[in-house]
Amino acid sequence: MIKFMPTILEHGARLIGVTPSQAACDAKLMADAHIAAYTAYQPDSVTVGIDVYNIEAEALGCQVRFHSDDAIPGILTHPFQNSIHMENIVFSMEQGRAALLLEAAERVKARIGKEVPVSAGICGPFSIAVELCGFDRLLEWIYDEDERVPKLLGKLLEHQKAYCNEIRARGLGITVFESWATPPLISPSIYRDHVMPWEKQLITHIRENRIPAIPLVIGGDTSLIRDHIINTGTTLLLADYKVDLQDYLQAATTHQITLRGNIDPKLIESGPVDKILAKVDQMLMIAGGYEKFILGTGVVSYSTPSENLLAIRNYLRYHYTK
């Protein structure tokens, strides 16, 4: 059967009747949310997290705003916006919610880890730098060739290596998120010079920890940086719904890496089901013959009807079982 890996973060909270913020701040609720999503949709892997882009940034001084409704927690402050404080980049499991997230991931692994791989989501150094400095300010310093930028990214790389060591010690996998680095937010040259080198070193470190699967998740239209992404050493090439799947299939086949094709999460949210399944057929007609192909989604929204995701899982089970 074709592997199915929807990106379930805040949507899991809906399945247990809590808000994203409630699940983001309670290890048991976070774990329960992911276990409920696994029970409902039977994905072929689980990455634990709710507001994955906030965890490291919060631990390093960013203030996070939590909500009483179904909004996703978000960064309120950028403590490095005026000045970069290298001395504040010190790894500690006592700061922020990193320990909470890993406790949740351990709970999930204890329940379903014998059935599917369970990973913790982390951020690439560039995305953490964006949250600490603010996007516009970081780009301003990059364009000014400010020598503090590579020093900052290097310090964040060391922070993430230490975090990866903690994750590995718990027997968990690692998924690297870096969607702040997608064009047109940044140019291909900025990705090549200020993002990719640090991702490559981080992925190399993860591989040295004997973690075989190292997905690098960058959404959006990554066509202009696709080859740079492959050069990071990632074991998975993500073809988001905005790119040419046939083109990405050719690249994945050439490099013999896993290809994940994403369905637009807005289509999954809005439906109708027959239109969703038509998209599934279209994608599998292109890439279904590739043994390393995975059908995925962008981040499934909190309000997405469960029946729309279940329709994909059941369709794959009954129409694409090998």
**Percent of the residues in the chain that have a pLDDT greater than 90, as a whole number:** 96
pLDDT in tens, 164-197: 999 999 999 999 999 999 999 999 999 999 999 9
The rounded distance, in Å, linking the Cα atoms of 70 and 185 is: 26
Name the nearest CA neighbour of 59 among 30, 28, 90, 26. Answer: 90
**Where do the domains of the chain lie?**
3-319
Do 187 and 216 form a contact (C-beta atoms < 8 A)?
A: no
Q: Give residue 321's pLDDT.
A: 72
Angle at 287 between CA 283 and CA 288, to 5 degrees: 90
The rounded distance, in Å, linking the Cα atoms of 13 and 98 is: 18
CA atoms within 13 A on the CB side of 321: 6
Do 20 and 67 form a contact (C-beta atoms < 8 A)?
A: yes
pLDDT in tens, 38-57: 999 999 999 999 999 999 99
Q: What is the model's pTM?
A: 0.96
List Cα–Cα distances, 64 to 110, 131, 212, 243, in angstroms.
29, 11, 33, 32
CA atoms 5, 293, 226, 202: torsion sign = positive
Q: Binning pLDDT at 50, 70 and 90, where does residue 1 land?
A: confident
pLDDT in tens, 126-141: 999 999 999 999 999 9
Domain 3-319 has CATH 3.50.50.60: no
